[in-house]
């Protein structure tokens, strides 16, 4: 590239600025212009909720780069408070407006990168203008200003950002209510896993109202459902985002039915001189149809890939898994891939595994229990998704599984992973290995039953046997179960010959040993996956009766 090329980038944060810096490293001579409508570039969107709660004390810590510093180091022409208002793909120009002066300029480009992100949805309800949203520093400042002197806050939407905000408003001392239309928090999790997060939120003293829609925002209250009022000095809307694809649409670029920009594997849009990345773009997924994925890692990664493609070093993106995580009131919840809910809706044949392992060896102090879930393709044993919730170590396990998915490992092959073990970090059989063991057993023909399938099986005449101890059973049991502690099961096995039996324990592990035993006595047997703990979470989430006594 000997002639001087001009690259224009719209949006100066995660995707945009990653493209700009990489372009500079690949092309020292190019003219690189970054236009950003807001006050700041390169800020830490993901940190915004934590400054609201004072966890991140220093506001400036959220501003990772300034236009001046980027100018000095990367010779970037960074223009803040400058909006791109029109693209002429034929002329290859973009019209930008200086928001301070109102002055406009048409900038010719050789390549254009769009990373305009997505903006919070404002639902069409009375008083919506009183609702705050959180996307940038100005929004954050507005929430903090509103929180001063306020005592009661309502957060609408129990997605990642809504929950982070609820936690941080609670940290500030506000009385917080979350209202969520759906019957669960955090859609990337299945209901029985999300329930663990919901319980933690409630234990922390935040009110969580599921299956509750916000219908109006008043001056000092909100109205939900059939007209109930909830007092609120401060209302935040966090009910989803909409792609900022207006410019792209007007320029005639291909969008999907939801308005997200369509790109090829090299981040190129339907126009050969325009690339797009980040939250405004629809992404290919590993299993299933293309979807948006609003995550900073992908925005950064794709920004670099767009730069590579523009500079003549094309490198294809891999389909997205959508690995996501939240830390909330001391709990971590992480997920990757697809949910059981989605896959069952699609009619996919899947195997599901729940476990409740300790994050590290139980004999070493401080071990805490995780709840884990693995979703596996029944035909191929491929991993389709995983979820983990716990005090510690959930991030590690989901990262490991995400990597296994990227490497195309089967679920059974998780048993062979050599994960670093010393007692303060893991167990000799890491929780991920254990998922592999269980997957291997299922692949070998062992039967399990999900918590939501149990009632139908019982109705169909299967006997439910609780193999836990007397004490465990007395503390809470599944309706209709019969108690035979595992260590006495051999004596009762002959009596069950020929019958159909579901065994269950607390987490599934003793159930497995029980199932192996009974099978060899000619019993048709299935193990209740995840045991009493998973069943209880599912029951609590869906309103099944959770107490009962063994016959």
Ligand X SMILES: Cc1cc2nc3c(=O)[nH]c(=O)nc-3n(C[C@H](O)[C@H](O)[C@H](O)COP(=O)(O)OP(=O)(O)OC[C@H]3O[C@@H](n4cnc5c(N)ncnc54)[C@H](O)[C@@H]3O)c2cc1C
Residues marked active site are found at 46
Residues 346 and 305: their CA atoms lie apart, in Å, by 32
13 binds ligand X (CB under 6 A): yes
Long-range CB contacts (< 8 A, 24+ apart) of 486-490?
486/510, 486/513, 486/514, 489/514, 489/517, 489/518, 490/517
Question: How many C-beta atoms surround the C-beta of residue 484 within 10 A?
Answer: 22
CB of 519 to its own copies, least distance (A): 8
- Which residues are registered as beta bridge partners of 114? 10, 276
Position closest to ligand COA via CB: 508
Could you say whether residue 5 binds ligand COA (CB under 6 A)?
no
Q: How far is the CB of 63 from ligand X (least distance, A)?
A: 12
95 contact, one of ligand X, its own copies, ligand COA, none, CB 5-8 Å limit per kind:
none
Is residue 474 near its own copies by the rule CB under 8 A? no
Cβ contacts of 438 within 8 Å, gap of 6 or more:
353, 355, 374, 508, 512
428 interacts with its own copies by CB under 8 A: yes
* Binding piece for ligand COA, criterion CB under 6 A, among 12-20, 191-199, 243-251, 331-339: 12-20
Does 10 contact ligand X by CB under 6 A? yes
Q: How far is the CB of 182 from ligand COA (least distance, A)?
A: 26
Q: Among 266, 329, 421, 437, which residue sits at the site for ligand X (rule: CB under 6 A)?
A: 421
Shorter beta-carbon distance to its own copies: residue 69 or 125? 69
Please give the Cα distance from 111 to 135 (Å, whole number): 27
The token pair that represents 104 in the structure block: 């406009």
371 touches its own copies (CB under 8 A): no
Q: Which is nearer to ligand X, 116 or 357 (CB)?
A: 116
Q: What is the DSSP string of 510-546?
A: HHHHHHHHHHTTT-EEEEETTHHHHHHHHHHHHT---
Q: At closest approach, how far in Å is the CB of 168 from its own copies?
A: 12
In the list 7, 8, 11, 22, the residue contacting ligand COA (rule: CB under 6 A) is 22
Buried/exposed 393-402: b ≥16 CB within 10 Å, e otherwise? bbbbbbbbbb
Q: Which is nearer to its own copies, 74 or 532 (CB)?
A: 74
Among 31, 56, 63, 64, binds ligand COA (CB under 6 A): 64
Task: Tell me the three state secondary structure of residue 46.
Answer: helix
Kindly determine how many residues on this chain lie close enough to bind its own copies according to the rule CB under 8 A. 90
Helix axes 14-26, 67-74, angle to 10 degrees: 20
Pair of tokens at residue 429: 């059989």
Interaction between residue 357 and ligand X (CB under 6 A): no
Q: How many angstroms separate the Cα of 218 from the Cα of each of 154, 222, 230? A: 12, 5, 10
User: In the set 42, 238, 245, 481, which binds ligand COA (CB under 6 A)?
Assistant: 42
Smallest separation (angstroms) from ligand X to the CB of 242 = 12
Q: SS3 of 188, please?
A: coil
Q: Choose, by CB under 6 A, the member of 21, 42, 45, 184 that binds ligand X.
A: 45
Determine which helix (DSSP H) or strand (DSSP E) holds 207, and give its type and residue range.
strand 207-209
Structure token digits, residue 202 = 């409630």
CA distance 541 to 156: 20
197 or 454: CB nearest ligand X: 197
Q: Which is nearer to ligand COA, 40 or 221 (CB)?
A: 40
Pick between residue 318 and residue 428 the one whose CB is nearest to ligand COA. 428
Give the nearer residue to ligand COA in terms of CB position, either 45 or 168.
Answer: 45
3-state secondary structure of 87: strand
Asked whether position 48 contacts ligand X by CB under 6 A, the answer is yes
- Residue range at the interface with ligand COA (CB under 6 A); choices 18-26, 253-261, 328-336, 486-494: 18-26
For 235-262, letters b (16+ CB in 10 Å) and e give: bbbbbebbbbbebbeebebebbeebbbb
Question: Interface with ligand COA includes 355 (CB under 6 A)?
Answer: yes
**Residues in region 135-174 near ligand X by CB under 6 A:** 135, 161
Count of residues for the chain?
A: 551
Q: How many CB atoms lie under 10 A from the CB of residue 119?
A: 15
Q: Which is nearer to ligand X, 45 or 441 (CB)?
A: 45
CA 139 to chain centre: 23
Q: Which does residue 84 bind out of ligand X, its own copies, ligand COA, none, counting CB within 5 to 8 angstroms by kind?
A: ligand X
Run of H or E residues at 483:
strand 481-483
- In the list 274, 508, 532, 539, the residue contacting ligand COA (rule: CB under 6 A) is 508
Sites for its own copies among residues 500-519 (CB under 8 A)? 512-513, 516-517
Tokens of 286: 């590993």
Footprint on this chain of ligand COA (rule: CB under 6 A): 13-14, 17-18, 21-22, 25, 42, 44-47, 64-65, 296, 300, 304, 355, 428-429, 434, 437-438, 441, 507-509, 512
What does the binding site for ligand X look like in residue numbers (CB under 6 A)? 10-11, 13-16, 35-38, 45-46, 48-49, 83-84, 115-117, 134-135, 161, 244, 247, 278-280, 294-297, 299, 421-422
């Amino acid at each position: 590239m000997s002639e001087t090329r001009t690259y224009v980038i719209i949006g100066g944060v995660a995707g945009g600025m990653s493209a700009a810096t990489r372009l500079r490293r690949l092309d020292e001579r190019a003219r690189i212009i970054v236009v950003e409508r807001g006050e700041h570039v390169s800020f830490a969107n993901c940190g915004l909720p934590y400054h609201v709660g004072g966890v991140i004390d220093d506001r400036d810590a959220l501003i990772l780069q300034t236009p001046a510093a980027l100018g000095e180091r990367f010779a970037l022409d960074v223009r803040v408070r400058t909006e791109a208002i029109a693209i002429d793909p034929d002329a290859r120009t973009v019209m930008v407006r200086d928001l301070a002066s109102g002055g406009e300029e048409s900038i010719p480009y050789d390549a254009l990168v769009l990373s305009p992100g997505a903006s919070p949805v404002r639902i069409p309800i009375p008083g919506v203008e009183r609702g705050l949203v959180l996307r940038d520093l100005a929004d954050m400042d507005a929430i903090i200003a509103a929180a001063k002197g306020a005592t009661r806050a309502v957060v609408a939407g129990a997605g990642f950002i809504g929950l982070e905000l609820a936690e941080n408003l609670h940290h500030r001392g506000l009385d917080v209510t979350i209202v969520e239309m759906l019957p669960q928090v955090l859609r990337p999790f299945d209901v029985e896993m999300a329930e663990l997060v919901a319980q933690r939120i409630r234990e922390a003293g935040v009110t969580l109202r599921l299956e509750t829609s916000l219908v109006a925002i008043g001056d000092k209250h909100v109205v939900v459902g059939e007209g109930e009022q909830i007092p609120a000095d401060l209302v935040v809307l966090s009910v989803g985002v909409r792609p900022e694809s207006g410019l792209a649409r007007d320029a005639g670029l291909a969008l999907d039915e939801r308005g997200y920009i369509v790109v090829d594997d090299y981040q190129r849009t339907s126009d050969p001189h325009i690339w797009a990345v980040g939250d405004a773009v629809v992404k290919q997924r590993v299993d299933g149809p293309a979807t948006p994925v609003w995550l900073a890692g992908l925005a950064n990664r794709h920004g670099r890939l767009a730069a590579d493609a523009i500079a003549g070093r094309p490198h294809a993106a891999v389909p997205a898994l959508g690995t996501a995580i939240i830390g909330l009131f001391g709990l971590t919840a992480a997920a990757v891939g697809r949910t059981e809910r989605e896959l069952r809706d699609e009619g996919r044949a899947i195997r599901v595994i729940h476990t409740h392992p300790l994050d590290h060896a139980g004999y070493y102090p401080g071990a805490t229990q995780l709840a884990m879930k693995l979703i596996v393709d029944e035909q191929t044993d491929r991993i389709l998704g995983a979820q983990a919730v716990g005090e510690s170590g959930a991030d590690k396990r989901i990262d490991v599984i995400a990597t296994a998915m990227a490497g195309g490992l089967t679920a059974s092959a998780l048993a062979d992973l050599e994960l670093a073990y010393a007692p303060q970090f893991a167990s000799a059989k890491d929780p991920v290995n254990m998922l592999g063991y269980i997957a291997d057993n299922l692949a070998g023909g062992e039967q399990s039953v999900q918590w939501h399938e149990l009632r139908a099986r019982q109705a169909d005449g299967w006997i439910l046997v609780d193999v836990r101890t007397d004490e465990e059973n007395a503390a809470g049991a599944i309706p209709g179960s019969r108690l035979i502690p595992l260590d006495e099961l051999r004596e009762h096995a002959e009596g069950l010959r020929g019958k159909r039996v579901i065994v269950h324990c607390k987490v599934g592990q003793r159930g497995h040993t029980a199932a192996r035993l009974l099978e060899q006595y000619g019993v048709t047997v299935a193990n209740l996956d995840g045991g009493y703990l998973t069943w209880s979470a599912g029951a609590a989430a869906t309103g099944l009766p959770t107490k009962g006594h063994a016959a």
